[in-house]
Amino acid sequence: MDPLPIPYRKSSRPPKLPPLSEVPERLIDSEEAAAIIGIHPKTLQRYARCGLIRGIHVGKLWRFRYSTLEDWIAKELAS
């Protein structure tokens, strides 16, 4: 009679993390993003709906990337 096979053991090492360049950027809510730009959150949401600033609509909520806000600020200051 053959013995039962030993189950595969996972390595005790922690999982390998992706390089920082591949880690997704944190999303900022409307309140925080509006505070960074210096406008009201509803104004920021209106800008996002109109396409003036890029945002992500998740259900009823809006989320923004910090880098997008920086780009928008730089563009507005240049014009």
| pLDDT above 80: residue 9 | no
| Predicted pLDDT of residue 32 | 96
Q: Rounded to two decimals, what is the model's pTM?
A: 0.69
Q: What is the mean pLDDT of residues 46-67?
A: 94
Q: What is the mean pLDDT of the chain?
A: 84
pLDDT at 55 over 80: yes
**Mean pLDDT over residues 23-35, rounded?**
91
User: With 0-12 CB in 10 A as exposed, 13-18 as middle and 19+ as buried, what is 64?
Assistant: buried
All structural domains of the chain: 25-78 (1.10.10)
What is the rounded CA–CA span in Å between residue 61 and residue 4?
Answer: 54
**pLDDT for 12:** 64
If we measure between CA atoms, which residue out of 79, 70, 78, 77 comes closest to residue 33?
70
